């Protein structure tokens, strides 16, 4: 399939590095890309030398990821370079993944034609009913969405797939949806204001603030306590939580705030453990798992909270041993380029 020649969604950084990214398209443009992919497949299948073409996808492994360091700003982000993997019907271990791509594109076409949007969870139930043998779990849907994103070079939102949001915001922020009343996030109680999963709606929000800081908080319980104590009145700030690992909508919302108010420093209050550092890195650099969409949500988040030097202030009996999962996360972080970029550039740590 000659998809790579049709969708030039890349920009060159250096002579040997190219950032591949996902375009944000209208429903009509996304449908057109799906149709081109189908026509290419049929053209090769019906040619004088028919064949079932492989699907060329950008490799989403850590080996194909890089951390781009901003030259004119403090921002850095993960990007994927121009290295391909394939989905093939001819290989037994990839045949189902090959079929999943086409079935998911078919479902996205129906959603776009109906001018609707669905969450990834809703998409899973639709595909489970339609093709249970190919989509028995949510993980199969999530991975196939990324396959389609890398094939068509457009964002999941362009395909009609909406983010499921767990995020909350509170503090000195006024926001207004089109033709709706203004919401004062300082008056939403300890539960805060729920961040919408509709990225198009988040883009259209009118935002106003007199805050001096943005604080991203890992733990929901800590967020609630700070909101109950109205910390944002003592430290003029906007408080945001994703209740753990950040979802796309919360990351997009934070990115929107950072672009609307570029003078506001952003701090990440996370646990001093591998998971907390991984959460901080996800906000700061993006994630490899997001593939071509990773860089769109990166923000210049600085680390707020205890460091290694502070451990001596804590009684030994209060320390908790790392679990196997913690050690696995730590090993992954230490082997990645992310921490090495931060170590070699101390100003990135805040």
Give the DSSP letter string of 63-89: GGEEEEEPSSSS-EEEEE-S-EEEE-T
Residue 214: pLDDT above 80? yes
Tell the residue number behind the tokens 């950084």, with chain if given: 13
Asked if residue 256 has pLDDT above 60, the reply is: yes
Q: State how far the Cα of 315 lies from the Cα of 243, in Å rounded to an integer.
A: 27
Mean pLDDT of 218-243: 96
pLDDT at 272 over 70: yes
Q: How far apart, in whole angstroms, are the C-alpha atoms of residue 17 and residue 7?
A: 18
pLDDT in tens, 297-348: 888 899 988 877 888 888 888 888 888 988 988 888 887 766 655 545 544 4
pLDDT of residue 299: 87
Question: What does the pLDDT average to over 34-62?
Answer: 74
User: What is the tens place of the pLDDT at every residue in 167-187?
Assistant: 999 999 999 988 889 999 999
Residue 195 has pLDDT above 90, yes or no: yes
User: For the chain, what is the mean pLDDT?
Assistant: 81
Give CA 207 to chain center in angstroms.
Answer: 22
Catalytically annotated residues: 125
Across the strands, what pairs with 76?
Answer: 69
Over the stretch 143-161, which tens digit does the pLDDT of each residue have? 899 889 888 888 888 999 9
Q: What was the pLDDT predicted at 183?
A: 95
Side-chain half-sphere of 325: how many Cα atoms within 13 Å? 3
**Helix, coil or strand: residue 238:** strand
pLDDT at 307: 78
Interhelix angle 248-260/274-285, nearest 10 degrees: 50
Domains by residue range for the chain, with CATH: 27-54+89-162 (1.10.10.10), 168-310+322-341 (3.40.1360.10)
What sign has the CA pseudo-torsion 320, 324, 326, 331?
positive
């Amino acid at each position: 399939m000659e998809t790579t020649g049709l969708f030039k969604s890349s920009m060159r950084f250096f002579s040997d590095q190219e950032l591949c990214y996902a375009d944000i398209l209208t429903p009509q443009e996304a449908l057109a890309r799906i149709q081109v992919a189908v026509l290419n497949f049929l053209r090769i299948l019906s040619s004088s030398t028919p064949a079932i073409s492989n699907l060329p996808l950008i490799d989403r492994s850590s080996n194909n990821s890089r951390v781009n360091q901003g030259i004119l700003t403090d921002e850095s982000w993960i990007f994927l370079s121009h290295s391909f993997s394939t989905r093939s019907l001819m290989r037994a271990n990839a045949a189902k993944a090959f079929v999943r791509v086409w079935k998911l594109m078919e479902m996205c076409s129906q959603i776009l034609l109906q001018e609707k949007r669905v969450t990834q969870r809703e998409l899973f139930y639709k595909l489970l009913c339609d093709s249970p043998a190919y989509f028995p779990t949510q993980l199969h849907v999530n991975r196939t969405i990324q396959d389609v994103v890398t094939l068509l070079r457009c964002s999941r939102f362009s395909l009609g797939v909406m983010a499921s949001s767990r995020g909350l915001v509170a503090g000195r922020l006024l926001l207004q949806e089109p033709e709706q009343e203004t919401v004062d996030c300082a008056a939403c109680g300890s539960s805060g204001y729920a961040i919408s999963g509709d990225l198009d709606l988040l883009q259209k929000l009118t935002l106003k603030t007199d805050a001096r800081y943005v604080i991203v908080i890992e733990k929901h319980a800590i967020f609630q306590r700070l909101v109950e104590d109205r910390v944002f009145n003592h430290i003029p700030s906007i408080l945001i939580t994703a209740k753990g690992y950040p979802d796309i909508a919360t990351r997009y919302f934070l990115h929107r705030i950072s672009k609307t108010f570029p003078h506001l420093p952003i701090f990440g209050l996370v646990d001093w453990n591998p998971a907390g550092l991984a959460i901080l890195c996800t906000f700061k650099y993006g994630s490899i798992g997001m593939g071509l969409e990773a860089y769109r949500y990166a923000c210049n988040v600085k680390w707020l909270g205890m460091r290694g030097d502070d451990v001596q202030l804590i009684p030994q009996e209060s320390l908790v041993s790392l679990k196997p999962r913690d050690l696995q996360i730590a090993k992954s972080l230490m082997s990645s380029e992310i921490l090495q970029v931060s170590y070699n550039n101390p100003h990135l740590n805040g």
